[in-house]
Amino acid sequence: MKEILIVIGLFFLSIGTLGLLKLSNTLERMHATSEATTLGVGFIVLAGVVDFYPNGIYLSAILVLVFLFITAPTGAHMIARATYIQDRGKEKSNNLSSIEDFV
């Protein structure tokens, strides 16, 4: 059971890393890492929960999962907002004027 979860987690981790390396824009790279990497680490933490289940430490692993799912979208949102505010004056920011009201 834990081997299957580890393999699924490594699959999503490698997708996130490939997206970080190969995509062409800062916002696209942030999108790839914030979604796929969080999901992969979530699966690996679930493997840890399954492995340590009778021991009481699995509650700590669940706490890692809760913290990760709270903090990763918040950090990604803050990076995206800082990038958008920095790029607003430049010429190369394309198709982003529709989100002007939400920043």
CA distance 86 to 64: 32
CA distance 2 to 43: 9
| Number of helices followed by number of strands (H, E) in the chain | 4, 0
Q: In the complex, what is the shortest distance from the CB of residue 21 to other proteins, in angstroms, rounded to a whole number?
A: 6
Residue 51 in contact with other proteins, rule: CB under 8 A: yes
Q: Among 1, 21, 100, 102, which residue sits at the site for other proteins (rule: CB under 8 A)?
A: 21
Name the residue among 14, 21, 79, 78 with its Cα closest to residue 43.
14
Residue 39 in contact with other proteins, rule: CB under 8 A: no
CA distance 90 to 48: 46
List of residues contacting other proteins (CB under 8 A): 2-3, 6-7, 9-10, 13-14, 16-17, 20-21, 26, 29-30, 33-34, 37-38, 40-41, 44-45, 47-48, 51-52, 55, 57, 60-61, 63-64, 67-68, 71-72, 74-76, 78-79, 81-83, 85-86
